[in-house]
Amino acid sequence: MKIVAVTSQKGGTGKTTLSGHLAVQAERAGMGPVVLIDCDPQGSLTNWWNCRQVETPILVQTSLANLGEDLVALRETGVRLVIIDTPPAITWTIVNVIKLADLVVIPVRPSPHDLAATGSTVDLIGGLGKPLVFVVNSASPRARITAEAAVALSQHGAVAPAIIHHRTDFAASMIDGRTVMELPRAERSTSEIERLWEYLDTRLKSLNVAPPTAQQSIIPPVAPQTTIEDGQLRAVGGNLR
């Protein structure tokens, strides 16, 4: 089982959009069962999932305190991929999630503000010794800043060769629990997500992954703003425990 954390200190970079899309695409590509975990108290990914008509990928509700143990339990049930959406800003939530992740995906919009904000996220991930991949998201077609952003980011880590462009498909599809792959006439957006997953899948396969242990799970007190609902592992759309 591989664990992917989607994270960035900056808000609105596309963490939730990419978490949902990558999970659905991984299922389409035969990587299922795929589990999504929403660690963001805003609950955007959960809201999206609740609107879905199909039950895959599964959304699992857990708490930050139980995350390590619950990932071990998920591995035992045969889950092959877990994608974790995280809140913006550097908080204990992000630190704890990154510690458990095999790969960290950082969506970045190609703008000066977004590029400037990636520094602290990169330092944090680097300090924890985790591999990372930048995904340039919401790029304007043919804009020079897109290439400039990719070059700037490549000095800090791998940049996914699949750029995700700004398209209303991405926002529109998520309104009713879908993704661009599940919309008619969204071939371009679909193909971008397919290419992105293909790249991440290759990266994941090249990692030498050790299983997480429950002890890895948590560190000091969770700041109040990062507390998520406490409770047992509960598969909303499946029967994992």
Ligand X SMILES: Nc1ncnc2c1ncn2[C@@H]1O[C@H](COP(=O)(O)OP(=O)(O)OP(=O)(O)O)[C@@H](O)[C@H]1O
130 binds ligand X (CB under 6 A): no
Residue of 44, 77, 120, 227 that binds ligand X (CB under 6 A):
44
* CA dist 54 → 22, 105, 146, 197 (Å): 16, 25, 35, 20
Q: Does 16 bind ligand X (CB under 6 A)?
A: yes
Query: What 3-state class would DSSP assign to 240?
Result: coil
| Residue 119, burial from CB neighbour count under 10 angstroms (0-12, 13-18, 19+) | exposed
Query: Nearer Cβ to ligand X, position 44 or 227?
Result: 44
Q: For residues 174 and 211, what is the distance between their CA atoms, to the nearest angstrom? A: 32
Q: CA–CA distance from 177 to each of 48, 57, 66, 183 (Å)?
A: 5, 11, 27, 11
Per CB under 6 A, does 13 bind ligand X? yes
CB of 51 to ligand X, least distance (A): 14
Which range touches ligand X (CB under 6 A), out of 13-21, 54-62, 218-226, 228-236?
A: 13-21
Report the alpha-carbon distance of residue 33 to residue 24 in Å, rounded.
10
Identify which of residues 12 and 127 has a Cβ nearer to ligand X in the complex: 12
Distance CA 178, CA 167 (A): 15
Which entry of Mg ion, ligand X, none binds 170, CB below 5 to 8 A by partner kind?
ligand X
Order the strands of the 81-85 sheet from edge to edge: 158-159, 132-136, 103-108, 2-6, 81-85, 34-38, 58-61, 234-235
Is 43 a residue that touches ligand X (CB under 6 A)? no
User: Please, what is the minimum distance in Å from the beta carbon of residue 121 to ligand X?
Assistant: 12
CB 62 within 8 A of CB 108: no
88 binds, among Mg ion, ligand X, none (CB under 5 to 8 A by kind): ligand X
List residues bridging with 108 in a β-sheet.
Answer: 136
Per-residue x/- track, 149-168, ligand X (CB under 6 A): ---------------x-xx-
Interface segment toward ligand X; rule CB under 6 A; list 26-34, 37-45, 52-60, 145-153 = 37-45
Least gap, CB of 16 to Mg ion (angstroms): 3
Subset of residues 89 to 118 that bind ligand X, contact rule: CB under 6 A: none
Site residues for ligand X per CB under 6 A: 11-17, 40, 42, 44, 88, 137-138, 164, 166-167, 170-171, 174
